Every structure is written in structure tokens, then in C-alpha cells.
Amino acid sequence: MTHSIPSIENKSPTQADSYTILTFPEIADAMAHINEEHVDELLGFLQVFTSLKSDELVGANVQLTAVYAEAIALQIQFDDTKKTSTQTREQTFFIPFIAPITQMEELNTQYILLKQKADKKLGKKTIKLTKQRFVVQDSRMISKNMLRLILTVPHLNAIGDTSNHHRSSSVPINEAGYAYLFDLEHNRSVAKIPNEGADNSIDKSEQPERAHCYYTLRKAWQTSDGVQAWVDVFLHGDTSGGNWARSLQAGDSVISKREFPEKVEHLREGQALLIADETSMPTVARLLELWDNPQPPLVLCVTEDAADQTYFDTVTLGTDSINNNAANQQDNHFTVLPLVTNQVNAGRALADLIDKTLADYLTTHPLHIDKFWSALEAGTAKALRGLLQQRLGLARADSVIKVYWRKD
């Protein structure tokens, strides 16, 4: 059941009175995060759970304005620029959770359940609350600061948990940017090895141990024994994720708790621009191998250390593409525009530098960018969104900029 309240005059919504206000201190941050990074999901909720038509959502602004125990409130400001009325039309909708929230931790699960339901109705790939077990086969450095974990997924992958939320699953072989939320606690007892060459400027006592961390499936392929997979972990000091990856030995098991498909479908046609830092290089590398667009992309690769720019040296455009569109091209060359910063790649200043680097390149190489994908640090992503909107003027559906990490 979904309630809709016309609120042109911003009246206090009567339905809100029947919901339970939540007072968890973390709610404000969670709402700010969703409003900054998950607006497309909120639009999906409005499309699926309300009577609004898709064309009413074009150009509209949506905001999560309240989280109650039983529902979220979404306020939409319609784009009525084409109409003569000078009044901004607003409406608030309440989208009920599948089950009411009693603890802050349950918000994540209830939000994911709404997202799963919406994505299913929209025919989109969605996040999975699935346990997956991998076995470590080997690991090696593939550029100065990038550690490759070589993992296998044995044929029989069930790990004794057959509940609905934790089914065993298959590993996607043809998806770029498919990410796993790895359970670092599972390997905690072995993750305490001394850490040579680590940047000890990060004081461990101030850094709480992370319980889990997202890493992307760099590549996976079928073998006679099951599936083999690569996961590339950027080592940037004495941190939970890096220490977890360094400590893993052949034969260790590794468990993930959640799986997350990346939004890359818009890249199938047009001139694409991909911008990666060290954490999103694995996604971009797989995108390139699976490239299924006749036009090769422009890749802007930003690394702190010049030595990590070699990451793309062994990547060939379209080698694993299903239709072999790009691989069949005479010229399956893609351009990497390197940007070496000699500092941690975070914040607004990096966004300005990326924008300037791109502007300089486009002055000497006049390309019309039609599509864009990137994943960066939160502050950089926020600033770059505005800058690239001004520079490229792309529609919301053609421009994806994700947050892969957050600088403290």
C-alpha cells in the first residue's frame, strides 16, 4: 500500500502522524548519504511503488525527507518548466517497508529489500544478500600497490546455510564491476601479520577494524574444477582491507555476504569516458575486456603512484566481449589518459584536477562524450558530478559516478 499526499503548500502530511518517528542519531547521516548517492534508486521506488508515470519523473528532483519505523517519505519536485504555472509542484509519498524497523542496523536490510523489489519490477539486476565462499589459490603483486587474489569457487558452493537470504550463488563471468562485500571477520585470526612497507602514518589505534569491505570481481572464468576468479586489492597502508588481503594464504577460505552489480548498461553505445582511481581500476579493466560498443572509450586513470599506471598495460579491448563488437574492429585500441597525483586521491581538489585534465585533452582531441562512468572517493565524486554536468551536460541516465570509498 502506498499513500500519496499532494503538498503544494507543504502542509504537514497527515499520514506521517500514523508512523513512528525514529530517533537513532545515525539517521541523519544515512539520509544524507542516500540523497547524495542513491537518487536513481529513489526514482525507481517512485516509479514502481506509486501511480506516477515515468514521464512525470523526467527532470524531477527527489529527496528522502524522513525515515519512520514503518516507511520512508520521499518528496518529489516536478519539473514543470514546460508548463505556464510559476508554482513548484511538490508531492510527498510514503513507501512502506516490508517489516518495521526496530534497530538502526535494520534500515540497511529494509532498504535493500525495497530496492530488490523495485529492481525486479523494473527488470534490473539487483543487490543480493547472498553468502559466497571462495578458496584462496594464490596472490601476487600486479603493479606496485595492487595485490591480486587468485580465488576459486569449487563446484559445490553451498556453505551449509540454505535460508532464503543466504543461498549459494554462481559467479558472474560476463559482468564488469560486480562487487562482493567480503567478511573480514571470517579471517580475522590470520589477519595480524607484520606488515612490511606499510604506511605507518595511519595510526591503527585510531582506526576501528572494519568488519567487511567491498572488492570487485576483476575477472572470473570457468575451469574444469569450477570457477576461478581474480580480486585486485589496492594496498594503501596499514588498513583492515589491505591487511586482510595480504594475510591470505593458499587454502584459506574467504566469505562474502552481499553482492552488488554495477550500473554499466548505458555504455553499450556512443563515445564513453571512464574515470578510475586505484579502487575502480578493476571495474574499468573488466569493462574494457567485455567492451561491446563499436566506439572505443577514453579512460582517465588517476593514481597516486606513477608505477600503478601499468595496471592497464595487459588489458585488451573487447577480448571477452560477447558479440566481439570491439574485438572485431580494425582498431581495438583505447586511450588511457594518465593522471599521477603523488598524493591520496581524494577531495574537491582532485575533482578540479580531473576536470582540468579532461578539458585540456578535449581541446586538443575534439571528442563528443555521450556516456560516462566513474567510481572515486566520496568528496571527489560529489564535486566532480557538478563539474562534469557543466562540462558534458549529460542526461542522468548517461552519467554514472559512484562512491567506492570515503576519506576519513
Ligand X SMILES: Cc1cc2nc3c(=O)[nH]c(=O)nc-3n(C[C@H](O)[C@H](O)[C@H](O)COP(=O)(O)OP(=O)(O)OC[C@H]3O[C@@H](n4cnc5c(N)ncnc54)[C@H](O)[C@@H]3O)c2cc1C
Residues that bind ligand X (CB under 6 A): 179, 202, 207, 210, 213-216, 232-234, 236, 239-242, 260, 278-279, 282, 344, 404-405, 407-408
Mutual angle of helices 27-37 and 39-49, in 10-degree steps? 90
Q: Which is nearer to ligand X, 133 or 219 (CB)?
A: 219
Task: Tell me the closest approach of the beta carbon of residue 299 to ligand X, in angstroms.
Answer: 16
Q: Which is nearer to ligand X, 5 or 112 (CB)?
A: 112
Give the SS3 label for residue 86.
Answer: coil
Task: Tell me the closest approach of the beta carbon of residue 78 to ligand X, in angstroms.
Answer: 32
Strands 399-405 and 146-154: unpaired
Please give the grid coordinates belonging to residue 70.
514503518
Please give the grid coordinates belonging to residue 372.
560516462
Task: Tell me the closest approach of the beta carbon of residue 195 to ligand X, in angstroms.
Answer: 12
Task: Tell me the closest approach of the beta carbon of residue 320 to ligand X, in angstroms.
Answer: 17
Task: Tell me the closest approach of the beta carbon of residue 230 to ligand X, in angstroms.
Answer: 10
For residue 227, give every residue at least 6 positions away whose Cβ sits within 8 Å of its Cβ, in sequence order, or none: 152, 153, 170, 171, 173, 220, 221
Task: Tell me the closest approach of the beta carbon of residue 192 to ligand X, in angstroms.
Answer: 14
Q: Which is nearer to ligand X, 232 or 320 (CB)?
A: 232
Q: Which is nearer to ligand X, 91 or 239 (CB)?
A: 239
Q: Which is nearer to ligand X, 2 or 341 (CB)?
A: 341
E strands present in 19-102: 61-67, 71-77, 90-96
CA 37, 40, 42, 47: dihedral to nearest 10 degrees?
Answer: 180
Q: Which is nearer to ligand X, 141 or 158 (CB)?
A: 141
For residue 258, give every residue at least 6 positions away whose Cβ sits within 8 Å of its Cβ, in sequence order, or none: 127, 128, 129, 130, 180, 181
Nearest to 296 by CA among 346, 369, 402: 369
User: DSSP of 173-192, one letter per residue?
Assistant: SS-TT-EEEEEGGGGGGG--
SS3 content of the chain, % helix, strand, coil (to 5): 30, 30, 40
Residue with smallest beta-carbon separation from ligand X: 241
Task: Tell me the closest approach of the beta carbon of residue 113 to ligand X, in angstroms.
Answer: 19
Task: Tell me the closest approach of the beta carbon of residue 279 to ligand X, in angstroms.
Answer: 4
Nearest to 122 by CA among 54, 21, 48: 48
Nearest to 361 by CA among 296, 300, 301, 276: 300
Q: Which is nearer to ligand X, 13 or 261 (CB)?
A: 261
Q: In whole angstroms, what is the distance from residue 242 CA to residue 232 CA?
A: 11
Q: Work out the burial of residue 298: count CB atoms within 10 Å of its CB; fewer than 13 is exposed, 13-18 middle, 19 or more buried.
A: buried
Q: Which amino acid is at 208?
A: P
* Number of CB atoms found within 10 A of residue 224's CB: 5
Q: Which is nearer to ligand X, 239 or 332 (CB)?
A: 239
Q: Which is nearer to ligand X, 66 or 299 (CB)?
A: 299
Task: Tell me the closest approach of the beta carbon of residue 233 to ligand X, in angstroms.
Answer: 5
Q: Which is nearer to ligand X, 95 or 383 (CB)?
A: 383
CA 366 from centre of chain: 30
Task: Tell me the closest approach of the beta carbon of residue 339 to ligand X, in angstroms.
Answer: 15
Nearest to 236 by CA among 207, 274, 205, 275: 207
Which secondary-structure segment (H or E) carries 233?
A: strand 226-234
